[in-house]
Structure 1
């Protein structure tokens, strides 16, 4: 039985894993920063306000990472999810087809519950030493390609500068040089690490974990660690998190999608749990060839992601938050540290949120509030804060964007 299935079974048995308006931000650095705004109700019915367990009040978050920065991410995965022209067959420098089926995708989406569609987004675990512009049929991404995906909301994770694993590897240099490389070329600082796989000294991955967590990265995905399925109904221990990594990969069967259906069935079993869940998985390439036999062939990838979108996205029950590891991590970190207070007087509610000191390398600083009221409402605030709500429709949530 595979490691992935064993981990999932353990989780299922044990069940103990752990209209924009404006607002006010208090900027007195001697005190915790606070956000305050006013809710104007149409009726005086009692209101309840709580921090949403996941962004947009979703039932489950699914994070998916492409390891090693292969160009198939840009040629196939990115246009499929974000919308655009998927590459035709594209034979790279290794004589491997990293292209797709040449079709044009409209994109795969979930909604924010307020009338806006959001494309599925993945993460890229990249090695700065492999990113280059030439040759034209290169196997790895270029800096402009990585930047385009980053600007579209994909997150970039540290995977070591050279993907080095063999005896004699300087693990500290691998971690820090990759951080420096991405900072110099893309002007942001990575905050999460994915241990590269390969031949190495016994338990070499422990050295990578240590150097990553000691040098500014908040978490590491590795061979072993806490389970990849998290119950996020309550506070999650994110401090120096090391999580076990599981993979979705194509089989030798190219005549059906039976292998993908088995992976999808596992997700179905997880989603059926009453708990709010965060699930994290990986693969390598997404081109027509099963790269190094550690990847998803594009037909499998397309089937897998399209099925998720049709079942759990905007075209289905809209219960998925399809977002990269970093985005989900940062939401939960902030969720578990803010304090929400509200005072209601008839049809008027004053909401005050105390914020913690947020690390500078956090890219995503958002708060979703779950609203329990039978009344329609609107937000009254000034120009320092962006707020969205569904007060005139389902009146179930407020979304606050801090950055």
Structure 2
């Protein structure tokens, strides 16, 4: 889906201010899920008696910037180049697809691009894939789209799969409801899970068609929809977010006709830097189409540009840099914020021991990510004591004593 917008600093700052206001909306959707709650608890053994303070981190791992980048349309270059670049592995060499376009890369070996969990453990950058089940192919070696096996491998590595309609249909006469439902069924049958987020496909269409897609997607199981206008491009996550039937917009990142140097990517990166410098924790959302050597349909990023763009971000904001980024797909960030805004934390401290109790809402079954990070304010080193099998827990209690990460089972 192409949105004719350029990364303009003033526009992004305005969007940041607007979405700060947007954050204070009503939480009506999924309120019923909070009716059936459960309790988890653990103890903090402190080295001193100073009082502690515990709050949910605005973003997972207490990061400052969540960056959600999506590859639309399920082109094979997603697997041939970007997956290996980010996750680590052999990047494909040049490969001419059925469309006479090079969907391959530079043939090098990548060590991967990483951020950390705040505790020294590296996590590879992950993207989202907005795919059309009707286009997935398992046959030709020169196919233009992904295979089911390739999609499954990326999904198993933590990449999220977003509903993009079964046929990517947009023209007059499209049955939008059928597009939404058939794609949901296709992914259920071939990959064994239910998608929870929708991305409106772009193309030749009647005016206002995206509104029909938004309505039908939200009415048929999607928690949010990426469309032409909506929340974003920058969302302030310092406060509670209104996720109820959320419609959001994304910045479009594409290569220019100029193939000399990286001037176009540097402009996108300058905007990224301005977003990263905003004072509050934020959520930034972007997308492109193909990421092979050729600029597919002139709506994509050539692989050299994609590699330069992602590597620059990783070197500055990933584990090699200031480690302020959480590079995760839209669904993963959405699910973290949903849970963050619904948990209730209490703690009782007696001398050098604090008992922490967390009341959890009933989490929707189709949620994939079930994690929460806690900020702990204490000058004291500490250790965690827990014998629960309902969650795993880790912390930096012996070093910086500022962060606790929980993964719910």
In 1, the alpha carbon distance for the partners of 2:383 and 2:200 equals 47
Partner residue in 2 for 1:16: 20
1:113-132 per-position Cα deviation (integer Å, ceiling 9, x unaligned) = 11200000000000000011
Tell me if the contact between 1:7 and 1:227 (Cα under 8 Å) persists in the aligned partners: no
In 2, the alpha carbon distance for the partners of 1:53 and 1:369 equals 9
2:406 aligned with 1:395: no
Q: Which of 211, 226, 229 pairs up with 1:221? A: 226
Instruction: Please give the TM-score of this superposition, normalised by the length of structure 1.
Output: 0.95
Aligned length: 393
- 5+ long unaligned stretches in structure 2: 24-33
2:159 aligned with 1:154: yes
Deviates more, 1:383-392 or 1:126-135: 383-392
2:282 aligned with 1:277: yes
SS of the residue aligned with 2:74?
Answer: coil
SS of the residue aligned with 1:341?
Answer: strand
In 2, the alpha carbon distance for the partners of 1:212 and 1:337 equals 24
- Give the superposed CA RMSD: 1.5
Partner residue in 2 for 1:52: 57
In 1, the alpha carbon distance for the partners of 2:166 and 2:402 equals 45
In 1, the alpha carbon distance for the partners of 2:328 and 2:133 equals 23
Tell me if the contact between 1:84 and 1:104 (Cα under 8 Å) persists in the aligned partners: yes
Residues 15, 185 of structure 1: CA spacing in aligned structure 2 closer, same or farther, 3 A cutoff? closer
1:4 deviates by 4.2
2:301 aligned with 1:291: no
1:227 deviates by 2.1
Q: What is the 5 A alignment of 1:45-194?
A: 45-194=50-199
1:51-91 per-position Cα deviation (integer Å, ceiling 9, x unaligned) = 00000010110000000000000000000000000000000
Tell me if the contact between 2:395 and 2:404 (Cα under 8 Å) persists in the aligned partners: yes
Residues 396, 9 of structure 1: CA spacing in aligned structure 2 closer, same or farther, 3 A cutoff? closer
2:47 aligned with 1:42: yes
2:360 aligned with 1:355: yes
Residues 171, 13 of structure 1: CA spacing in aligned structure 2 closer, same or farther, 3 A cutoff? closer
1:392 deviates by 1.1
Tell me if the contact between 2:19 and 2:231 (Cα under 8 Å) persists in the aligned partners: no
Deviates more, 1:185-194 or 1:378-387: 378-387
SS of the residue aligned with 2:251?
Answer: coil
SS of the residue aligned with 2:231?
Answer: coil
Tell me if the contact between 2:7 and 2:271 (Cα under 8 Å) persists in the aligned partners: no
In 1, the alpha carbon distance for the partners of 2:6 and 2:231 equals 13
Tell me if the contact between 2:5 and 2:252 (Cα under 8 Å) persists in the aligned partners: no
Residues 31, 144 of structure 1: CA spacing in aligned structure 2 closer, same or farther, 3 A cutoff? closer
SS of the residue aligned with 1:296?
Answer: coil
SS of the residue aligned with 1:16?
Answer: helix
Q: Which of 300, 303, 316 pairs up with 1:311? A: 316
1:7 deviates by 3.7
1:137-158 per-position Cα deviation (integer Å, ceiling 9, x unaligned) = 0000000000000000000000
Deviates more, 1:375-384 or 1:89-98: 375-384
Q: What is the 5 A alignment of 1:189-200?
A: 189-200=194-205
Residues 15, 166 of structure 1: CA spacing in aligned structure 2 closer, same or farther, 3 A cutoff? closer
Deviates more, 1:386-395 or 1:284-293: 386-395
1:244 deviates by 1.5
2:241 aligned with 1:236: yes
2:334 aligned with 1:329: yes
2:273 aligned with 1:268: yes
